[in-house]
Structure 1
Amino acid sequence: MTRNQQTGKRKPGTPGPLSRWMQQKMNARMNRKVRRGRGTFMGMDVLILNTVGRRSGQPRETPVAWFPDGDEARLIVASGGGSRHPDWYVNLMAHPDRASIELPGREPVPVTPKRLEGADRAQAWQRIAAAQPRYAKYQSKSEREYPVIRLTPR
């Protein structure tokens, strides 16, 4: 038994059974709201990101905050609580050709994800941080740079 198991403590950023269960329940509730046409949470627009599990091959649905980027493109941030990439990001990068999004009250739309780098990321990050300063606050507390992904309809 490891020391963390003995003391009942988890490694930071590692969800416990209850928190993973709670997250799944909250995601399912948010997905229902988006499908009913109510796609906002804490002042942010929310979409449903449809991915495929990188190992399981099973479909996954995750509500994600998004920011406009041009006519039809949308930006999403893989913050994942700060310490590691969220599962949806890893799945998205493993199977980018199988990704789609659902906007409030609409049918799924296939998208092409592109992780932004360099000046593109910096410009997108400025717009995101201006729209939602909490993202900049979260980023300042993390040792890793949050990936910013542009989703463009196929």
Structure 2
Amino acid sequence: MAPGVKLMQKISSTVLFAKLAPHFIPALDKAVHRLSRGRVMLSAQMLPGVILTAKGARTGEPRTTPLACMPEDGGRTWLLIGSNFGRPGHPAWTGNLLKNPDADVSWKGRDIAVRARLLEGEERAAAWRAVLVFWPPYATYQARIEREIRLFRLERR
């Protein structure tokens, strides 16, 4: 485990982090990603990340969102975790994927067409166990809210 990861896990589990992080982390990630021409995401220094571009559920307009992810199968598929930093309400990008599952991700500087699938039942349970090993603070986020955190698997189209 990289130095500082345990500290970051502890910090990211706090309510203060949940209140502040959504206001600055996505904006910083978008800016750095754009300036580096897709090669760098600041938050990916702690957790792997993608830039998701999906059609808006209501508008159909492209919506770009930097997200932490859990790569699977050597980066051929990805799990996206709709934690919303442990805040009430599903993040908007999850509603976008439910309505429009065909999307694109920028992964390590490459644009990849993907199809999102909401995980349910035993498949979701197995993925959730893997996610908790990958980043334990997700358990804190889930304990803080009543809704079930949505998990999506992105597969290449």
Q: TM-score, normalised by structure 1?
A: 0.76
Contact kept, 8 Å, 2:77 with 2:155, in 1: the verdict is yes
Contact kept, 8 Å, 1:112 with 1:153, in 2: the verdict is yes
Q: Secondary structure at the match of 1:37?
A: coil
Q: 1:138 to 1:30 in 2, by over 3 A?
A: farther
Do structure 1's residue 139 and structure 2's residue 142 form an aligned pair? yes
Larger Rg: 1
Contact kept, 8 Å, 1:111 with 1:152, in 2: the verdict is yes
Tell me the CA shift for residue 20 of structure 1.
8.2
Contact kept, 8 Å, 2:48 with 2:69, in 1: the verdict is yes
Q: Which amino acid aligns with 1:103?
A: W
Do structure 1's residue 123 and structure 2's residue 132 form an aligned pair? no
Give 1:112's aligned residue: 115
Contact kept, 8 Å, 1:34 with 1:46, in 2: the verdict is no
Q: TM-score, normalised by structure 2?
A: 0.75
**CA RMSD between the two structures:** 2.3
Tell me the CA shift for residue 112 of structure 1.
1.0
Do structure 1's residue 86 and structure 2's residue 91 form an aligned pair? yes
Contact kept, 8 Å, 1:47 with 1:64, in 2: the verdict is yes
Contact kept, 8 Å, 1:33 with 1:39, in 2: the verdict is no
Contact kept, 8 Å, 1:35 with 1:104, in 2: the verdict is no
Q: Which amino acid aligns with 1:89?
A: T
Tell me the CA shift for residue 37 of structure 1.
1.7
Question: Which consecutive residues of structure 1, in runs of 5 or more, have no partner in the other structure?
Answer: 1-18
Matched length? 134
Identical aligned pairs, as a percentage?
33
Larger helix percent: 2
Contact kept, 8 Å, 1:116 with 1:148, in 2: the verdict is yes
Distance between the aligned counterparts of 1:33 and 1:47, measured in 2?
15
